[in-house]
Chain A
Amino acid sequence: MDSAALTTVETAKELGLLPEEFDKICEVLGRTPNFTELSVYSVMWSEHCSYKNSIVWLKTLPKEGPHMLAKAGEENAGLVDIGEGLACAFKIESHNHPSAVEPYQGAATGVGGINRDIFTMGARPIAQLNSLRFGDPTTDRTKWLVKGVVKGIGNYGNSFGIPTVGGEVYFDKCYEQNPLVNAFSAGIVEVGGQISAKAQGVGNAVYIVGSSTGRDGIHGAAFASKDLSEDSANDIPSVQVGDPFQEKLLLEATMELAKIGAVKGMQDMGAAGITCSTSEMSAGGGVGMDIDLDKVPTRQDGMEPWEILLSESQERMLVVVDKGREAEVEAIFEKWDIHCEPIGIVTEGPYVRYFWHGEKLAEIPAESLVLGGGAPIYHRETREPAYYAEYQNFDMDLVPCPEDLLSVAKELVRLPNIASKHWVYDQYDSMVGTKNRSTNEASDAAIVNVKGSKRAIAMTVDCNSRYVHADPEVGTMIAVAENARNIVCSGGVPSAITNCLNFGNPYNPEVYWQFVGAIKGMGKACEKFATPVTGGNVSFYNQTQIGNRIEPVFPTPTIAMIGLVEDTKHVTTIPFKAKGDLIYMLGTSRDDISSSQYLVHHHGIEASPVPFFSLEEEYANQEQLKELIRKGVIASAHDVTEGGLFIALLESAMQGDLGFDITTDVEIRPDAYLFGESQSRIVVSVTPENEESFIDLMMLNGVEFDLLGHVTKGAIRVDDEDWGTVSDYAKPYQNALGEVLEG
C-alpha cells in the first residue's frame, strides 16, 4: 500500500476500524486521512492501545493511596513509596495472543516488554512473576504450549538476569486454544530519580535507541484486538522476536542515563512501535514531534514508511534528550554498543508529524490518538449469562461424601492445579541478584530483600478464575483478598495492586457482564485492603472453540500485589518448623465444597457457585494475623486455597519435612472440612512455649480459630487414622506435573 494514498471507509474496515470511527477521524483532521494516517489511528484506537471498551469501568477503580507516587496511566507503570527514599515501580501485562500462535517468542517478548516498562522509568528491575493458564495438560497441544511458554520466559528472563520469584500455573480446558501469559516485573528507583514518559522541551532531540526496525510485529496491537480463531496462525508474522542480550544492554545504559539526568522523557516501544511512543509521549507532555522516518535504522531494505511506523520490533526505546547534552547520552550508548540515532525533534505541537525524505507523510494531533484524549470510549451492553443462576442451584447434599477420604487426598495431590510446579519454576533463575529469599524457604508471597536495608518487598500474583467465572464480583474480591492474604502470611503489609484483565469478546454482553462484575468486586476489595490500582492492562478477545461452540475463557482478572515488609525479622514462611508445634487454623470451617478442585475433579461437577467469602471476615482475619506476626508468636503461616485445608497442611508439612496429626470437626462434613475451599482461612503453627501468648492474642479480637492438632516427625494422622507419612505424598506431589507434561 502506498503510504500517501487517500483512504476510504473500506480501508478503515480492513484495518479494523468501525465506519463511525472513520467518520470521526475525518472530522478530527478536517480531511480524509491518507493510508499512513489511517494506519496510525487504527493501531492507536485498537482495543489494545485505547482501552475503548474498558476505560469507562477502569476509571471507577480506586487509584488514590498514601504511598502512590505515580498514579495509574500517568507513567509507564505505577510507582509506590517504600520508605527510606526508595520507590517500587511495578506492572503486569498480557501477551496472550502471540503466545497462542508462537509460544516461545510470544512469552519471551512479553517478559521483555514488561521489564522495559519498568526500567525506562529509571527503576532497576529486581524481580519478575508470571501467571500462566493453559488447557488440559494431557493434550499434545497444551504440552507444546507449556514447554514453549516456559522456555520463552526462562530463556529471556534468565539471560536478562532478573530473577523470576513466583507466579501461578493453572490448567482448565477453557484455555485450550487460548493460553494466558501474564508477565509482571517490579523495580526499585530512588524517589525523584525516575524518568518520565512525557516528552519535554521544545527543540530537544528525539532518539530511537536499541535494535533496528524490521517488519516483525506489524499490526500486533490489532492482532491482539480481535478474536483468536483457526486463522490466527496466519498472524504469526504479527509476533515479535526477542533479544534478551540487547535488552540487558539497554537496561544497563538506561541506569547510567538515569544517573546523569540528561533525559527529558523516555518510553519503550511496545505495541504500535514508533506510532505509540511518539504520540503518547507528545500528548503526555502537551507537545508535538517531527519525526524523520527515513532516519530510522531498518533491518531490511525497502520498508514502507507506514511499516516503519507500525513495526513492533523489540528492544527499542524512544528517548528525548536535553538540548546540549546529546554527546553525553550518545557516549553512554556507545559504551554499551547500542545503536542510537536522532530521528526527530520535540515541537510545540499539537501535531505529531512524520516525514519521509523531507516530505510530510502524516500530520495528526497527538491528543486525538491517545487514551484520555480523542480515542473513542464505548459503553457496552451487559447481560447476565444463564449459567450464573444455574450455578446457584447447586445442592451439596446431592453430592455423596466418599467413604475413603485418604484416596481422595492422594488423588488431589497429583492434580496439575495442586501438585508442585517445580517442573516449571526450576527452569527460571530465581536467585540471580541475591535478593530473593523464597527459593531457600518459601512464604505465601515471594520476599525480595532490599539490599542494605532491613526492608523487603513481598510480591504475589493470583486469580482463581473458576471462582470468578462462578461469580465475577465475589470471585474478583477473592482474587484481591488472596493476594493480600499471601502478603500478610509472609509478614508484609499490602501496598498496591496491578491487574491484567483477561476476558472474552467485549461485544458479547455476557462477557461484558463478567467484566463489569469483576471491576466492581476489585474496586470493593481494593478499598477494603487500601491497595490502590496502579495500572495494568486489558486483554479482550480470549476464547476457545469447544466442539462447535466458541467459549470465552474463564473471566481472568489476574491480580498482582506488592506489599512492604518493614523488617525482615517479621518474614514468616510456609514450612512447619518442629515436631510438637501446635497447629491452629484462623478462620471458620464451613460446609462448603463449591467450586473446589475436589468437587470439579473428583465428582466431575462444574456447576457450583463461588465458595463462601466475606470481605469483613477476611479483613479481620488478616488484621489478626498481622498482629500475631508482629508479636512473634507463630512459627509458620500458610493460607488455605486450592485443595482445601488438607493440602495446605500437607504443603507446610512437606516443605518442613515433617508430618501432622489432626482432628476434624464433627459439625462439618469431612470432605468439606478437608478439601473444601471456603475462604479466609490460614494454617499457623505455634511452639508450645508461645501457645499461651498466642491464645491471649486470639481472645482479644474475637477472630474465630481452632486447634487442629500438632506437628509430627513425619507421620500423617487424621482422626487417629494412619494416613501414611509425608514422604508418601511428597513424591507424587513433586513429580505429577512433570510426568504429565513429559509423558
Chain B
Amino acid sequence: MKFGVVTFPGSNCDQDMIDTLRDGLGCETVALWHKDRDLQGVDMVVLPGGFSYGDYLRSGAIARFSPIMEEVVKHADRGGYVLGVCNGFQILTETQLVPGALLHNASHKFICKNVFLRPASNLSPMTADLNENKAYKIPIAHGEGRYFADEETLKLLNDQGQVMFRYCESDGAITDSANPNGAIQNIAGVCNEGRNVMGMMPHPERAADENLLNTDGLALFHSLLNHMVTV
C-alpha cells in the first residue's frame, strides 16, 4: 500500500504522519504538495492536521479549493482511500467527502489532551480489527472539533455504521463528561457511505511510538493496512 501525505501551507502534522507511516509502519509514503495535481499513484491520500492556509476564515474552508483537492475528490469518487485527521477531517467535511460539519468546541477553547475513543462500528477499514469494548487512548488538539450533523444524517450514519469512533471514559463508558468538545452523540470520527473516505479529530499518529509512551494508535493503522484493498 502506498500513502501520500498532503502538505498545505500551514499543515503542521504532515511530517508526523509521514514519520509514522514510513518509519513506524514501514509503508511506502510520499509527500504531496497542495499546488500539484499528480497523486503519484498512491492508494491512500492522507490529509494531515494543522492550520491550512492559516484557517483564519473557517477551518478547511480555503484548502478545499486547492488544486490537489480537486484530484483528491476524483480519487475518492473512484473509490480511492482518503484519511483526514484533525484539520484533514475539517477539510473533508468542507469538501463534503464525509457528511457533517465541525464547529467551535463547546468551551470555545483550543483543547490538547489525551482522550479515549471507542470504536462505534467495525465496517470501516480503520475500525475493522478494533475491539469494540476497548477504550483507545488517542490525543486530540483542536479548536474546532465539535462534530455536528442534522438528525436525518445522524440516523443514516448510525444505521449504516458510518460512525467510526465515539469519545468515551477510560473504562469505555460513553458519557457527557468524556466528550471533550461537545460533539453530537460523542462522535469523534466518521466515514463516507463507501467507507473509503475516513475522517477523525483525534490524532492516531501521535499515539504510535513507544518513545512517546503511547502506542494505542498503532491498532488503528494496522487495521487500515489489513483491510485496504488495491482499487
Contacts and interface: CB of A to CB of B under 8 A. Distances in A.
A336 interface: yes
Interface string B49-61: 1110111100000
Interface in A457-497: none
Nearest to A248: B10
Interface stretch (B37-45, B148-156, B205-213): B205-213
Interface string A301-345: 000000000000000000000000000000000001100000000
Interface residues of A, number: 34
A430 interface: yes
Interface in A225-259: 243-246, 248-249
B147 to A, nearest CB: 19
B28 interface: no
A440 B213 contact: yes
A161 B9 contact: no
B176 interface: no
Contacts of B109: 151, 426-427
A441 B211 CA distance: 11
Interface string B89-118: 000000000000000000001111110000
Contacts of B56: 245
A437 B112 contact: no
B33 to A, nearest CB: 9
A439 B211 contact: no
B213 A437 contact: yes
Contact of B50 (A161, A427, A437): A161
Given A158-B141, A437-B213, A449-B211, A431 B12 contact: no
Contacts of A422: 113
B54 A243 contact: yes
A119 interface: no
B211 A427 contact: no
A245 B111 contact: no
Nearest to A150: B109
A152 to B, nearest CB: 12
B132 interface: no
Which secondary structure dominates chain A's binding surface? loop
A151 B114 CA distance: 20
B223 interface: no
Contacts of B9: 245, 248-249, 336-337
A549 interface: no
A503 interface: no
Contacts of B55: 159, 245
A432 B206 CA distance: 8
B12 A434 contact: no
B16 A433 contact: yes
A161 B10 CA distance: 8
Contacts of B64: none
Interface in B104-161: 109-114, 139, 141, 143
A244 B143 CA distance: 15
Interface residues of B, number: 32
B19 interface: yes
A39 interface: no
Output the residue of B55, B205, B212 with the most chain A CB within 10 A: B212
A422 B111 CA distance: 10
A26 to B, nearest CB: 47
B162 interface: no
B20 interface: yes
Nearest to B108: A151
Contacts of A426: 109, 111-113
B55 to A, nearest CB: 7
A431 B139 CA distance: 8
B107 to A, nearest CB: 9
A429 interface: yes
A432 B110 contact: no
B154 to A, nearest CB: 28
Closest 7 CB pairs between A and B?
A161-B12, A245-B54, A159-B51, A440-B213, A434-B16, A429-B141, A429-B112
Given A426-B109, A449-B212, 17 more contacts: A154-B110, A155-B143, A158-B110, A158-B112, A159-B10, A159-B12, A159-B51, A244-B51, A244-B54, A245-B53, A249-B10, A428-B112, A434-B205, A434-B209, A437-B212, A439-B113, A439-B139
Interface of A: 151, 154-155, 158-161, 243-246, 248-249, 336-337, 422, 426-437, 439-441, 449, 451, 568
30 contacts: A154-B110, A155-B143, A158-B143, A159-B50, A161-B12, A161-B50, A161-B51, A243-B54, A245-B9, A245-B51, A245-B54, A245-B56, A249-B9, A336-B9, A426-B109, A426-B111, A428-B112, A429-B141, A430-B112, A431-B203, A431-B206, A432-B141, A434-B206, A434-B212, A437-B211, A439-B113, A440-B212, A440-B213, A449-B211, A451-B19
Interface of B: 9-10, 12-13, 15-16, 19-20, 49-51, 53-56, 109-114, 139, 141, 143, 203, 205-206, 209, 211-214
